[in-house]
A and B are shown apart, each in its own frame.
Chain A
Amino acid sequence: MLNSLFIVNTTGDVILEKHWKSVIHRSICDYFFDQQKRATHPEDVIPVISTPHHYLINVYHNQLYFIAVTTVETAPLMAIEFLHRVVQTLTQYFDECSDSSIKENLVLVFELLDEMLDNGYPLVTELNILQDLIKPPNFLRNIANQVTGRTNMSDTLPTGQLSNVPWRRQGVKYTNNEAYFDVIEEIDAIIDKQGSTVFAEIQGSIEVCCKLSGMPDLTMTLINPRLLDDVSFHPCVRFKRWENERVLSFVPPDGNFRLLSYHIGAQNMVAIPIYVRHNISLKGGQTSRIELTVGPKQSMGKILEDVVVEMAMPKTIMNCNLIPTHGKYSFDPTTRVLQWNVGKIELGKPPTLKGSVSVSGTSTVEPPPITLKFKINQLAVSGLKVNRLDMFGEKYKPFKGVKYITKAGKFQVRT
């Protein structure tokens, strides 16, 4: 599968290289840099690149490119999925996967990569086992290590790999046993000029933070499992039970993980909780005006929070002179992004942003689409609800909590 991996930042420095087979010189990245130069946005670099003798598969994350090199036919999605796993693992280890966090923990990253692939083929990708093999850095442990001379490397051998629940490590112990379930739903939508919905769907997931001792066997029932007809599960979920009884039965991994993700497609009706009214005219030479109003719509009695309105302005926009009734706005003259942080939308008069814009040149400019972000707490917009959670296999009584959040996903308003 993979021969080598290069981690490269957007300025073109190779931060790390790792080879699982014979060494491939880093000059192979030049092919990638060529492509990168041609792209206008960092995201526009094509993910699979062919060179005379090698194939480069890259993944972009947080100003970093992870470039996998292979010499023979390999399923590209397999490489892509693996690279994303690397990103996820690094994020879990260092809280963020960024240029600086990798540079700081170069040895650890190198060791992790060494464990994850064997001869270029995935060996251990399960986070729980990796954490057993190599302990994640943490402030307290670092100090303790300094004092006692111990290391991050675990000296006990991990046994998780051998069990038939490879995703859970053994001998987990907590004084407070607790399990939190976050039902997170993101609304992806395209709203057209007139304010009607072109397309809307819900991407949901249940994220779990599980701190339970021993080998708990959990069973979760939903009030309306029929909603989920397009689901993908963490390997721990017993698929047959779901098929037959519509019950989620699983032995959870330790720590944070995504239990399932689901998709409620465009065929179903999705309630859109927010509206945007806009009046934008961008004409060169004359006074151009922008007027935006946002407000709640069918919010089911819940309050819209963290509302952010964003527009990536075209190059001809020189400056903005706007006045918001609520929140703050900013215009970055280099990236030309207009951002309006509305915050919480209270009842009463809907927030507006109004003012003039200076446009260079004489031609009329098409107004850019508006991207919306918002959050609604204690609401799953699809109506999904957890009925109950039972635990078997262990004697203690765990604390259980369920939280619902609805967020904007790729929410776009055309202008």
Chain B
Amino acid sequence: MEGLTSPEMEIAEGGVILDNRARFADLKAMLDSNKDTLKVDAMKRIITLIAKGKDVSELFAAVVKNVAAKNVELRKLVFVYLVRYAEEQQDLALLSISTFQRALKESNQLIRGSALRVLTSIRVAMISPIMMLAIKDSVRDMSPYVRKVAAHAIPKLHALDENLEPELIECIDFLLADRRSLVLGSAVYAFEQICPNRLDLLHKHYRALCKALIDVDEWGQVLMIQLLTRYARHEFSQPDDQNVDPDLALLLNSARPLLQSRNCSVVMAVTQLFYHVGPKSQLSQVAKALVRLLRGPREVQYVVLLNIATMCERNPVEGSLAISKTMFDSFLKSFFVRSSDPIFVKELKLHVLTSLVSEANVHMVLRELQTYVSMSDLAGAAVEAIGRCAVRVGAVSEQCMKGLVQLISSQNETVVCAAVVVLKRLLHAEAPYNLLARLIRLMPNIETPQARACIVWLVATHANVVIEMAPDFLRILAKSYPNEDQLVKIEILKLAIKLWMVQREKCEKLVQYVLQMAKFDLSYDVRDRCRFMRNLLFNTTILSKHAEEIFLAQKPAPELVSKFKERDQFQLGTLSHTLCQRCDRYADLPSWPEVSSDPALRKDPNAADTPAWEEEAEEEDESEEEQSDEEDSGEETDDDEEELENEESEDENESDTSGSEEESDEESEEEETGSEEEPIKKKPQPKEQVKKGTDNAGASNLKPVSNSSQPKTSGNLDLLIDLDFSTVGSRSIAEAPKSTFSPLVLLNTVESDGLEVKLLEFTRENEGKFTPFVLGVKNTTNRQMQAIEVRVTDMKTKISGNRQIDQLEPGDSRKLRLAIDMEASGGATKKIELKLEREAAQPCSFSLEIPLGEQIQSVRFSPEDFEQQWKKLGGMNRHAAKLDKEIEAEQLMGRVNVHKINQKLYAGQTRSQTELVLIRLDEENLEVASENAIFARMLHSQIMKIFM
């Protein structure tokens, strides 16, 4: 067709040669007319041509004129045309842009939405700034529909101009915080398209996404589950059956109901979630849903069966993962083949059947397989399946063998071939005597050459087993030698040679006879082989010495490798998995981290209306964390804690229910429509947060002074800091190693007249820019002290936390939990001047130095990233020195809050400026690099001072 078409002329249906110009001329005339119906007719004809794949780009100018038409149908058709050809006619396409820009300001949300949709579908790079502006406005539009369209527009713009990525990611980040499920699905789509690796953006949305999952549209559900699967693999440690991270449990519980979705891709997505992320004991839940999909159209059956086959293959031998096998056991019959199934479904079903085979069901399966042998197109595969059963279940191998031997004498060519191949493979390593004997006895009845050749081969390979019968067997064969097929002749030749080696005395003459016959055979292959053997055995002295090694060498048995084994490397349900090849943009699932990341990361800063019980749950969460911190983070959690966690996950369950309840949804929507009146300008307003702060001051992750009354103002302040932090770094903050700082006296009793101030410890909690530390104040006198307060002398110093003690009994001591922003207070190495005031005494001043190692916090890094960053930080930014003695990793991490990537590499960032700090440590060298050159030098010298 294409070849025939010249640009000017075209052969129309019916063989009439049309001049393209003339034909398009009448379309042009119709488009230029002032009747809408004519125009619509013309457009319809044009669209028909597009649908048929004809080129109608030369009408562009005439069509685009109508882009602002009043008639809805006409306008829509013009849009369709425009989107198709704008790429080829960039300059003319620009003419239409102003129409859309105008429409973006319309008051009707649907018009705004469709204008944005068409505008961003026009693939003209020149207008990407206009699109960017439009998207930026639209993600903050008060209509969720427009926001949804904006989310869809983001990947389109990204495809046009990749340089806009950072700005687009900002938009996505904003959309992810949206509370309407309508928007969320599309936001996740945009995320997956543009920045699938920026999982750090998800921390604060994670819980909200999990809860919204059930309300999102079905396509969004698929993408969202896939995304959350990757997130879970990246953030949580591998769950075992008793111990599931509550956040992970939340994900699993929200996804579980979706197994009942009518959309098969959603079911598949949930399946792969449970397969890759869930604890093993929960996997069996997906079986029923998957089997239900088998009833679907053939294409669905194909993909689902591929996935089931992989799941079964994961561990066919009884073992730790055997659960993935037994989960389908009760559905065995669903894998029985119907003659109406397409061929690929039949083969896959057979495969699944054989991998499900066990002692209990093997007889049923074998009976099924026997009926398949009579199905013409399935016979070969069925025979092979019988062979697989024989390997899998030892108890029936004898029976299978017998069946296979009988099949060898079948009339059906394919059956025989398959049976031969399978038998050969099964008997390669060892063959039982009675089976071989039986085969030998069957020989006269078997006619097919392949089968005969196979039997001869088997006897030759296992000549030692049937050493008594073999010479006689050869004698019978020699008799019929001239009438045998060439295949069989060669095998007989081999048998003869082998017998000559093992039992020369019994059959010397016989072998000579066979060799003589072969020498004058019609087929040159046989003659050739015969000459080769003769010369090898009789005519060279060098080689004939090694004849035994050559002919009787042990051969390794061919291994039964399933073609589905290979598929296991791919994530279930993906295109790569289906095709068993790495597709473009396929990303491997991340491997489980050693420890889960800090659950505090996932706290949703925007959730103003979190129900009270959840607050409690989170509080529990934290207290638990503290406990384990104290116990040493690596230790196994004990029973009490498990219980706690279970309760929590139940709580999460409830949240799920309340979240997805229709009614509550409607309510929240009403609320929203109310607030939509005023356009959303920026991030949530601070006022709200202050209010929220007072509500849940107790539950915030900042620990207020533990045993004194908490003034409200400071609580608010803390919360603001907390929020501030959440927008800061993009690196994911790792769990801090425990500090080994030993308490240091800052102010002794003599100087302060009876009060002792100590720098007790660094808690290493995450407090944004602030470095937390604990001061201990002790009353060493025998009188009560009142109104004690630590004050800053330098107004620049920024310290948060409670610094007042109302009353201190004699001998009593108090802890003050404080936090300081070093950068704002005058730089990392600044000495902090403080003053201790109290009632009826002179104020006395003291100073405090925060070690640089505590001014940083550990961040998670992969070794690759480390190397990459390390290369960037050369010259001034890196400092190295030889070590006199070795520094242990634990020692280092005790004094410097860094994340251990491996024995040599450590990573952190400064709290106040989030500058990267990298440390490389081996037996002899210590190297410190940082984006802040001075900090690197100072930290380096401090570490040397501490340890050397």
Contacts and interface: CB of A to CB of B under 8 A. Distances in A.
Interface of A: 14, 16-19, 21-23, 26-27, 39-41, 43-44, 46-48, 50, 55, 57-60, 70-78, 80-84, 106-107, 109-111, 114, 118-119, 121-123, 125, 149, 151-155, 157-159, 161-162, 164, 166, 188, 190, 192, 198-199, 201, 203, 229-235, 238-240, 243, 258, 261, 263, 265-267, 312, 314, 363-364, 366, 368-369, 371, 410, 412, 414
A17 B87 CA distance: 17
B336 A118 contact: no
Contact of A153 (B72, B304, B573, B581): B72
A98 to B, nearest CB: 16
B334 A201 contact: yes
Nearest to A110: B51
B426 interface: no
A266 B222 contact: no
Contact of B226 (A75, A109, A314): A75
5 contacts: A18-B51, A119-B156, A198-B336, A199-B334, A369-B339
Nearest to A134: B76
Contacts of A243: 257
Contacts of B338: 190, 410, 412
A235 B51 contact: no
Contacts of A58: 299
A60 B297 CA distance: 9
Nearest to A53: B584
Contacts of B83: 114
A217 B826 CA distance: 66
A125, A263, A314 — most chain B CB neighbours (10 Å): A263
Contact of B340 (A81, A151, A261, A412): A412
Nearest to A249: B662
B411 A363 contact: yes
B268 A119 contact: no
B869 interface: no
Given A55-B583, A114-B83, 16 more contacts: A22-B87, A44-B343, A46-B344, A47-B298, A48-B302, A48-B575, A60-B299, A72-B585, A75-B265, A77-B265, A119-B121, A154-B72, A161-B110, A162-B109, A235-B218, A235-B262
B47 A43 contact: no
B264 A77 contact: yes
B657 interface: yes
B576 A41 contact: no
Contact of A81 (B40, B265, B336): B265
Given A80-B299, A190-B338, A235-B262, A17 B51 contact: yes
Given A14-B53, A18-B51, A314 B583 contact: no
Contacts of B587: 73
Contacts of A152: 73
B84, B108, B581 — most chain A CB neighbours (10 Å): B84
A234 B340 CA distance: 29
Label chain A's interface by main secondary structure: mixed
B300 interface: yes
A73 B155 contact: no
A2 B576 CA distance: 16
B33 interface: no
A50 B581 contact: yes
A105 B841 CA distance: 95
B532 to A, nearest CB: 40
Nearest to B43: A107
A29 B710 CA distance: 72
B588 to A, nearest CB: 11
Contacts of B72: 151, 153-155
B281 interface: no
B586 interface: yes
Contacts of A239: 214, 257, 260, 660
Given A18-B51, A75-B222, A265-B291, A192 B371 contact: yes
A322 to B, nearest CB: 21
Interface string B301-319: 0111000000000000000
B261 A232 contact: yes
A121 B189 contact: yes
Nearest to A77: B265
Given A73-B583, A75-B575, A232-B261, A107 B268 contact: no
Interface in B1-48: 2, 36-37, 40, 44, 47-48
Interface string B77-116: 1001001100100000000000000000000111100000
B144 A76 contact: no
B40 A151 contact: yes
Interface string B42-74: 001001101111000000000000000001110
A230 B288 contact: yes
A189 B338 CA distance: 9
B111 A157 contact: yes
A121 B268 contact: no
A262 to B, nearest CB: 9
A379 B72 CA distance: 49
A164 B665 contact: yes
Contact of B145 (A26, A162, A258, A369): A162
Given A119-B156, A314-B376, A43 B298 contact: yes
Contact of B292 (A47, A107, A159, A263): A263
A44 B578 contact: no
Nearest to A310: B340
A64 to B, nearest CB: 13
Contacts of B662: 238
Given A235-B262, A366-B374, A107 B573 contact: no
Given A72-B584, A73-B586, A157-B108, A123 B152 contact: yes
A199 B300 contact: no
A387 to B, nearest CB: 21
Interface in B362-383: 368, 371, 374-377
B262 A234 contact: yes
Nearest to B336: A199
A199 B268 CA distance: 25
Nearest to B335: A199
A410 B340 contact: yes
A366 B260 contact: no
Nearest to A119: B156
B344 A44 contact: yes
Contact of B333 (A17, A55, A157, A266): A266
Contacts of A118: 117, 121, 149, 152
B578 to A, nearest CB: 5
Given A48-B578, A75-B574, A16 B333 contact: no
B295 A263 contact: yes
A198 to B, nearest CB: 7
Nearest to A18: B51
B303 A48 contact: yes
Contacts of A162: 109-110, 143-145
Contacts of A76: 303, 573-575, 578
Nearest to B36: A149
A19 B121 CA distance: 12
Contacts of A43: 298, 342
Interface in B263-299: 263-265, 267-269, 288-289, 291-292, 295, 297-299
A348 B198 CA distance: 74
A318 B654 CA distance: 68
A109 B73 contact: no
A231 B260 contact: yes
Contacts of B753: none
Contacts of A106: 47-48, 51-52
